[in-house]
Amino acid sequence: MKPKRFLILITVILFLNITGQGGTEDRKTISWITQQEAALPPMKPTETRKKNSLETGTESFSINNPSMAGPIIKIKKPDPDQLYNDLIDVLILFDKNPVGEPVNMESLRIIYLKMLGIDITDRVRPYVKETRIDANGVMFPEGEHEFEVRIKDIEDMGSTKVFKVKVN
């Protein structure tokens, strides 16, 4: 092969590699839970209340009877009735309760409801924008996943809401 053709070939290959890498960065997938965590048995609601109060040293949140005094939690995405095959968008809004105070986003906790009650807040925090969680293209292992969202206002009035994600 002649040197000129060789240089052109190398240039084309480098260009394609650079272009391809830029595209994959934009489509980088994220995962909030691991395969090992997903394989754990689900947590029972009564265990959630007991374990969370013991582990955090704070008052537990009731799963079956969410508080209405704290911020309003709106799960816009994902749809709990939909079975997902691929990447999932998550959009959760936190609004000030009309009879309450402004939302304290520092109080946000996201608990993956498995046997141990896994706090994944630090994994979710990069996707917190103002008073919402906005993440596109989150990958979840196959199965049904249940999460508890906890939030308080600046006067420590709390709310909680549970949402599910079903993955094929």
Alpha carbon 3 to chain centroid, angstroms: 53
**113-133 pLDDT tens trace:** 998 899 999 999 999 999 999
Percent of the chain with pLDDT over 90: 54
Q: Which residues does 43 contact at the CB level (< 8 Å), separation at least 6?
A: 51, 113, 114, 115, 116, 117, 146
If you average pLDDT over every residue of the chain, what do you get? 80
pLDDT digits (tens, 9 = 90+) for 54-76: 444 444 444 444 456 899 999 99
Q: How confident is the model at residue 22 (pLDDT cuts 50, 70, 90)?
A: very low
Range ranked top by mean pLDDT from 4-8, 23-27, 86-90: 86-90
**CATH level 3 topology of 32-167:** Immunoglobulin-like (2.60.40)
Q: Which two tokens stand for residue 100?
A: 């309450």
Band (pLDDT 50/70/90 cuts) for residue 4 is: confident
Q: What percent of the chain has pLDDT over 70?
A: 76
Structure tokens at 128: 């917190």
Closest C-alpha to 91, from 123, 25, 138, 153: 138
Position with higher pLDDT, 120 vs 42: 120
Domain ranges for the chain = 1-28, 32-167
Question: Rounded CA gap, 105 and 124, in Å?
Answer: 12
pTM, full prediction: 0.69
